[in-house]
Amino acid sequence: MTRRLGFTFIEVLVVCVVLSILAGLAVLKYIDLKHRALSASATADLQAVRLAAYSAWYEQGVWPAEAGAGTVPGGMVQYLPNGFIFSKPEYTLDWDNFVPPGGGPSGGMQLGVVVSSTNARLMKTLQDNLGNKAPFFVVGGTLTFVIVGPDGRI
């Protein structure tokens, strides 16, 4: 009777296949968790901007003025957390103020925050994360989080 001193090629190959399947599943799970974390971060940013807008309204009597994409509105800076930025590596925020001069309703919304990203999976995860918690609508690669609707209410 002879004694074996190692593994056969087939045994090593089976172990390699099993390990590669497990590694593939781990990578997919990591990507999913990363998108969930980015979505949670974007949702928290939307809520921070919403609260800052309401704070500005209550203290100043006017909504913060329109600002370009990735730019923090001047009237909102003091109400946002220190170092808060609208331009993140994964997504960009844009404050939209469509309140007509003298007040009154506008077309589709009056105030909102637009989240734009080239990452379609992130945007889908963000939609799923928001669910029915807040009013929003999606057009292309952007999600608009409505703060005040055309009727002046949330």
Give tens-digit pLDDT for 11-64.
999 999 999 999 999 999 998 899 899 999 999 999 999 999 889 888 988 888
Give tens-digit pLDDT for 129-154.
888 767 888 888 888 888 876 555 55
How confident is the prediction for the chain on average, in pLDDT? 85
User: Which pTM was predicted?
Assistant: 0.78
Instruction: Check: CB of residue 72 under 8 Å from CB of residue 86.
Output: yes
According to DSSP, the residues that pair with 114 across neighbouring strands are 94, 144
According to the model, what pLDDT value does residue 63 have?
83
